A and B are shown apart, each in its own frame.
Chain A
Amino acid sequence: MVKMTDLPTKGGFSFDLCTRNQMLLDKGVQMPPFRKTGTTIVGLVFQDGVVLGADTRATEGPIVADKNCEKIHFMAPNIYCCGAGTAADTEAVTDMVSSQLQLHRYATGRESRVVTALTLLKSHLFSYQGHVSAALVLGGVDVTGPHLQTVYPHGSTDTLPFATMGSGSLAAMSVFESKYREGLTREEGIELVAEAICAGIFNDLGSGSNVDVCVITKGQTEYLRNYQLPNPRTYISSKGYSFVKGQTVFLEQLLLLVSKLVHVEAIFQLRVDEWQYRINWGLVPCLC
């Protein structure tokens, strides 16, 4: 029975393999651990705009899968979103809403508003009842001013002056609760965010590596990737491992030449000359 399942689908989820996977689950097979962003993500509102911060560790079970991943996703030139939870879900949801916002900008001809992004995110997450496991901190500056919102996997949202999410949220919130005040300057805001993320990095096992910061103000956005690197690799020796050529024993070898460079100009010129010579001497039958 040939089904048209292999043609590119129109979009959305496909549930083809669910029956098979359910059968495997009933047999007692463990589902594999998905890559999560253990994470500490924070945001705060300062006097001119919004500062977002995130750590850079991605975990797969207890193993660190990526030591320097990007958790601050682009939504619009004036809106950025930090994501925690299942990595595939946060990336897919933020990419999808980012595309929808771009289309909306083309349709309206105006700068995107943070509430637009918020509504698109929460309606998508609510319709999947929390199974799309993405916890987001959305921040941006639009015509109505700076906004900072959190979105939970089930679709609820909060509007806050400072927010933390992820496994390291408690560590980061402790820093915010003691040091946050209204009307911070840009430098103070960045420093406070970096301190909160560092608290998450050093105290939470699911967060680690470096600090990413994103500062959004009216008309300008600055994405400071790897703003702080508090965990450098200092233990490696400068010499490293060096393997002698021929150390690895191999049984068979196949060498393929994929592309060949052939200089054709000279040959072509020769052919042209040869033809010219032949034409001149009447060796080529012509219609003239």
Chain B
Amino acid sequence: MYKLIIKINVVGKLGRVWIAYMPTQLVWDKRFFVVFGQNASRCSKQVASPKSHGGEKLIRCLVIGSACSHSHPLPYLEKKKVYFLARSISLLSSLSFPLALSSPTNHLYSLAAMSIFEYNGSALVAMVGKNCFAIASDRRLGVQLQTVATDFQRVFKIHDRLYIGLSGLATDAQTMYQKLVFRHKLYQLREERDMKPQTFASLVSALLYEKRFGPFFCQPVIAGLGDNDEPFICTMDCLGAKELAKDFVVSGTASESLYGACESMYKPDMEPEELFETISQALLSSVDRDCLSGWGGYVLLVYAALLTPTEVQEKILKGRMD
């Protein structure tokens, strides 16, 4: 029974690194899979020092991404081999996502059935109210059908009055965010002011279209306050085709349900409290119908009105945890 492990650098700190081995009879095939995150060197020392556990030296392994998600002890291998593997972990940990996918090639049978957007799963929605806007996302990060994190951030701040949510492949979303922050900082240095949402939307569109024949697999949702505190929302497909909507925009694997929920629940010119309720209900009801997104919600509401300070509210919603 093969076990599939995929590098999950996108999750960030795994805390510890575990070396996984196949069951004894397959060790001689010299196939091994590794899970790596941070602190690889610390683990190599830990593994090298013998543990006394019932007389036999055991190494625990964490298997991720397969049918079984429990940890189980495996027979000890020679110290030299272990150390070599620990070294290679720290080298391999800097490699990018595709290489990890390419090592156990025959285990990706289930990936073929899925679109690349369904690899991580996501749900994003942004809505416009009266002098306010709200942007909401789910919090699940998965590797196909396995949930890997339940506090994943999809909505990022560009500046105080501009936020971007990125759905689709998580690694591309994070790369895209880093590129955008870089470009915005350069803009701030040159222009000595923040970027307007319309300009930012054009920037995102240009960055995505630049990769027309090898695109980033992410769909951004941009929400911000423009001139005169006018709320602005916009979404794009993965090539940068802008859709400027006046009411709501959706993105992610749950987008079909979100379209339906938002169409029925949205009303123009909602006050901030009502807008928060509406967007939360639309998000929670849509992700309930999507396996790949959910595990709570995150809503960010920005409200600006004359003679009151701009208010930003972030709320974490309680939803179904399945």
User: Which 4 A-B pairs rank lowest in CB-CB distance, beginning with the nearest?
Assistant: A28-B112, A18-B214, A87-B241, A88-B239
Q: Is A15 engaged at the interface, CB distance under 8 Å to the other chain? A: yes
Q: Say whether, besides A31-B116, A253-B315, A24 and B98 are in contact (CB < 8 Å).
A: yes
Contact present for B296 and A251 (CB under 8 Å): yes
Q: Which of A25-79 contact B (CB under 8 A)?
A: 27-32, 34-35, 58, 60, 63-66, 69
Contact present for B101 and A17 (CB under 8 Å): no
Contact present for A241 and B264 (CB under 8 Å): yes
Contact present for B317 and A32 (CB under 8 Å): no
Q: What would 15 more interface pairs be, CB under 8 Å, given A34-B239, A86-B239, A247-B277?
A: A30-B116, A31-B116, A66-B245, A91-B241, A92-B240, A236-B264, A242-B274, A243-B274, A248-B317, A250-B318, A251-B317, A252-B316, A255-B312, A258-B160, A259-B309
Q: Which of A29, A88, A91, A254 contacts B114 (CB 8 A)?
A: A29
The majority secondary structure among interface residues of chain B is mixed
Within the complex, what minimum Cβ distance (angstroms) separates B56 from chain A? 39
Contacts A/B (CB < 8 Å), 23 sampled: A9-B210, A14-B211, A15-B213, A15-B214, A16-B214, A18-B214, A20-B96, A20-B214, A29-B111, A30-B114, A31-B116, A32-B238, A88-B205, A88-B212, A91-B205, A91-B241, A241-B281, A245-B274, A250-B280, A253-B313, A253-B315, A257-B310, A258-B311
Contact present for A27 and B243 (CB under 8 Å): no
Contact present for A258 and B241 (CB under 8 Å): no
Contact present for A27 and B112 (CB under 8 Å): yes
Q: Is A256 engaged at the interface, CB distance under 8 Å to the other chain? A: yes
Across the interface, name the chain B residue whose C-beta is closest to A35.
B237
Contact present for A258 and B312 (CB under 8 Å): yes
Q: Which of B245, B256, B276, B309 contacts A257 (CB 8 A)?
A: B309
Q: Is A131 engaged at the interface, CB distance under 8 Å to the other chain? A: yes
Q: Which of A17, A34, A69, A254 contacts B214 (CB 8 A)?
A: A17
A159 to B256, CA, bound (A): 41
A257 to B303, CA, bound (A): 10
Q: Say whether, besides A63-B255, A248-B276, A255-B313, A21 and B102 are in contact (CB < 8 Å).
A: no
Contact present for B307 and A34 (CB under 8 Å): no
Q: Interface size bucket, A side?
A: 35 or more
Contact present for A6 and B179 (CB under 8 Å): yes
Q: Which residues of B contact A287 (CB under 8 A)?
A: none
Contact present for B265 and A32 (CB under 8 Å): no
Q: Say whether, besides A255-B313, A259-B310, A27 and B183 are in contact (CB < 8 Å).
A: no
Within the complex, what minimum Cβ distance (angstroms) separates A185 from chain B? 35
Q: Which residues of A contact B115 (CB under 8 A)?
A: 29-32
Contact present for A34 and B241 (CB under 8 Å): yes
Q: Say whether, besides A8-B183, A27-B112, A63 and B256 are in contact (CB < 8 Å).
A: yes
Q: Which of A16, A32, A60 contacts B217 (CB 8 A)?
A: A32
Q: Is A204 engaged at the interface, CB distance under 8 Å to the other chain? A: no
A257 to B302, CA, bound (A): 10
Contact present for A243 and B281 (CB under 8 Å): yes
Q: Is B32 engaged at the interface, CB distance under 8 Å to the other chain? A: no
Q: Is B215 engaged at the interface, CB distance under 8 Å to the other chain? A: yes
A241 to B265, CA, bound (A): 5
Contact present for B278 and A261 (CB under 8 Å): no
